[in-house]
Homo-oligomer: A and B are copies of this chain.
């Protein structure tokens, strides 16, 4: 089944578009995982402890949400040992029935792009167990840098979320240049790239990352990319609320995943959950997010 259809089915099954971002910042891990940040320990041991945290978190959220988004930087920060844990986390998430969106934001010339597609969508070393269901990509290098990923997506029923407008303040520096603004030029390409991969759901497997922090523009982005699944970062720790998201959804409330990373992973640091264990805080924050998002998607 194509990625878009799998995403729609997963959202329907869990009844929420909530996406949990796995950003295992070492310095924010709960105390019982502090070995991960202890430089006196062997790197493999530290990485394994970080992986333990991610896997425990997966067990908590798997019954509640359709998808997770591990951020590769935090794994790579522990080098090859961290990447061992990336593979463990991807495999475990898939075994738990979660869709895995690898937040890798790669982007390179064609011959190199093919190698990245192998790494993240075909499964490194041709083992599908390490493959993500979809990844994020940077479009900065242009169409020929995206093409190898499109081929692999078609062949392996995986998907892409292309950066169109990121959630950070600096996104205005370059993404708004030109007329139409660069982000809208990219949006037009995303719509075109996705035409060949529209599923039974009416959505394409080629989606867009659009920051939830740009509430006023979400409806315009939706109009430019009517069939693209949206991945909306910026909810929670970065300041966006469910009220900001309305424009991103399709009529009926589908077509988008809303990401929260630190707000879920490190909910135990939030004053609202003071006194709770990290697991109880994470569960409470996940449930609060799901309830909040229901207001944006009409109770879906």
Contact = CB atoms under 8 A, between A and B. Distances in A.
A94 to B, nearest CB: 15
Nearest to A167: B109
A74 to B, nearest CB: 5
A173 interface: yes
Contact of A168 (B47, B74, B144): B144
A159 interface: no
A191 to B, nearest CB: 14
Contacts of A126: 39
A124 B171 contact: no
A84 interface: yes
A143 B116 contact: no
Contacts of A170: 141-145
Interface string A216-244: 00000000000000000000000000000
A140 interface: yes
B168 A82 contact: no
Interface string A111-152: 111011011100111110010000000111111110000000
Interface in A180-234: 182, 185-186, 189
Given A79-B130, A112-B71, A185-B177, A145 B168 contact: yes
Given A142-B171, A178-B182, A125 B83 contact: no
Given A140-B163, A168-B142, A174-B140, A77 B118 contact: yes
- Greatest chain B CB density within 10 A among A43, A130, A140 is at A140
Nearest to A169: B144
A238 to B, nearest CB: 8
A110 B43 contact: no
A268 interface: no
A158 to B, nearest CB: 15
Given A127-B43, A140-B140, A174-B186, A115 B168 contact: no
A70 to B, nearest CB: 12
Contacts of A9: none
Interface stretch (A11-19, A100-108, A274-282): A100-108
Contact of A83 (B23, B80, B107, B143): B80
A288 interface: no
A139 B77 contact: no
A35 interface: no
A184 B126 CA distance: 40
B141 A166 contact: yes
B141 A168 contact: yes
A25 interface: yes
9 contacts: A47-B125, A78-B125, A139-B174, A142-B168, A142-B169, A142-B172, A144-B169, A173-B189, A182-B182
